[in-house]
Amino acid sequence: MSRISVKGRRVWVTGASTGIGRAVTVELVRRGATVIVSARNEPALTELARECGEDRVIVLSFDVTDRRANQRAADEIHRRLGGLDLTFFNAGICEYVDVRKFDSALFERTMRTNFLSMVYGIEAVLPLLRQSPSPQLVGMSSTVAYGGLPRAEAYGASKAAIKNLFESLHIDLLSDGISVSVVCPGFVRTPLTDRNDFPMPFRIKADEAAKRIVDGIEAKRPEIHFPKRFSLPFKLLTLLPSRWYIGWCAKIVTQP
């Protein structure tokens, strides 16, 4: 599959106020894209636009869990830029489950923010992408989508749902000429992972992750996973018989 540069393309990034979303925005602008940035934290987005150049970054602050707000955002993007070429749906949260105090509300929050927000966004942007000469749809999942991990019942389920969704879309949107990619990173240094209370092997910086993500987007890779020294062995582990995989997880993952 041929590569396509992001230079000159109109890109929408959600969850852009911090972490990977912010770093990807900076990398996209560095490579010549015009980026619409979304999150609830408007001051952080405004600062990002100031840093990157307000002629290259458009702030569009809203709550991604609101279906109608996603549609209004897509309408505003069309009004401001005349269309859209690439979306990177990245907004998400992480809450860990304590099975001694199992809370369904935690699952609802996680699925609404991580998974349903992408469904709403996809619904809103597909008409715009179908009009682009080089449309791409990209979503943020995680290596945890490959297999269950302790305390990740909610977060892992949401990321597995995203991975499955984007793999299905990759097939169904072939006839529309829309390239679809899912991003499955290992541990990346962000405000989200800074709160983790367990070992995070091979954790990389957000700007390094951003370069790998944008490289994968330009290469139109169906699955963008990294760092390979973590993601590949973890992929292989999930191919083991379930009893072996579960036993391995129980031994090496620190639990409270």
Active-site positions?
155
Q: Give the burial class of 70: count Cβ atoms within 10 A of its Cβ; 0-12 exposed, 13-18 middle, 19 or more buried.
A: buried
Going from the C-alpha of 17 to that of each of 25, 79, 209, the distances in angstroms are 9, 23, 16
Asked if 53 and 59 touch (Cβ cutoff 8 Å), the reply is no
CA pair distance 165, 120, nearest whole angstrom: 13
The residue to which tokens 């307000």 are assigned:
54
Q: Give one word for 145, left, alpha or beta, with left for phi > 0 and alpha for psi -120 to 50.
A: alpha
- Cα 187 to chain centroid distance, Å, stands at 13
Alpha helix locations (H) across 153-227?
153-172, 206-218
Bond from prior residue into 222 cis (ω within 30 degrees of 0): no
